[in-house]
Amino acid sequence: MAFKTTRLDRFIARSSGFSIADTRLLIAQQRIIVDGLPAESAQQRVTAFTQVMLNGKALNDTKAVYLMLNKPQGVVSATKDPKHATVLDLIQHPAKESLHIVGRLDFNSTGLLLLTNDGAWSRKISLPETKLRKTYEVTVSTPMNEAYISAFQSGIYFGYEDLMTQPAELEIVSPFTARLSLVEGRYHQVKRMFGHFQNKVLALHRVSVGSLTLGGLELGDSRLLTRRELERVGLD
């Protein structure tokens, strides 16, 4: 997993009363411990999630958290809301207040939602050039036909932004239900794509993000991502 790094001496100067120049002496005296071992050099690289101890006191002991939630309907994809329950209200993790959302779901949409305290990771997942594929189960109000598949594959024009959507894969499961796979995440994109056909989205459920799937995770439940899952996302 790649994190933004900084030099140990700069971190010490920023996090304590010691200067950059003091760091070499502190290292020689073995007063700086990095991830359980004596610091090696002033140029040693540390991240936001490196444990750094100075004179037995933790200057940085933040653990990276990567979590998935099966979001239910009627919950806001936000960390705070004055009127409605938020996704954080559903999470029991002790570090939940430090988490932010990676790729929101609408109030009435359900399914896989990612949360983390690692800003570099969430930014990388969200970059358009990453092309991380998201898959949804969609229920609409009027029957679909083959014209939908062709239009979604070719791209649909959004006049407000003056752009064409990137090619998306639509599988019609029944006249009123489909699986949609796309690499973008524009504002209300799925609803707007079906709106091109004057077809209202009645239900939207995200089943996967890249290789991450809900598996047997119950609606409203959350769990930490495994190391293997993080590696399989392809962003480590």
Per-residue pLDDT tens over the stretch 41-58: 999 998 888 889 999 998
Return all residues near 48 (Cβ < 8 A) that are at least 6 apart. 3, 4, 60, 62, 64, 118
**With 90 as the cut, is the pLDDT of residue 77 above it?**
yes
Which residues 6+ apart lie within 8 Å of 28 measured at CB?
A: none
Q: Do residues 104 and 18 share a domain?
A: no
Q: Single out the residue in 37, 60, 83 at which a domain terminates.
A: 60
Position of tokens 């409605």?
Answer: 84
pLDDT digits (tens, 9 = 90+) for 24-45: 999 999 999 998 899 999 999 9
Residue 222: what pLDDT?
A: 96
Cβ neighbours of 24 (radius 10 Å): 13
Same domain as 82, residue 50: no
Give the C-alpha separation, 130 to 233, whole Å: 11
Same domain, 129 and 172: yes
Same domain, 189 and 121: yes
Per-residue pLDDT, averaged over 175-191, amounts to: 93
Look at residue 213 and tell me whether its pLDDT is greater than 90.
yes
Positions marked active-site: 106
Mean model confidence pLDDT for the chain: 91
CB-count exposure of residue 229 (10 Å: 0-12, 13-18, 19+): middle
Residue corresponding to tokens 């009027």: 142
Residues 37 and 104 in one domain: no
CATH no. for residue 10? Answer: 3.10.290.10
Q: Is the domain of 110 the same as that of 193? A: yes
Domain count, the chain: 2
Same domain? 35 vs 81: no
CATH of the domain at 199: 3.30.2350.10
Residues 74 and 184 in one domain: yes
Are residues 137 and 184 both part of a single domain?
Answer: yes
Of 40, 60, 80, which one is at a domain's C-terminal end?
60
Q: What is the pTM of this model?
A: 0.80
Domain that holds residue 226: 66-232
CB atoms within 10 A of CB 99: 22
Same domain, 44 and 76: no
- Same domain for 55 and 71: no
Given a cut of 50, is residue 1 above it in pLDDT? Answer: no
**Are 84 and 45 contained in the same domain?**
no
Token representation of residue 101: 């959302």
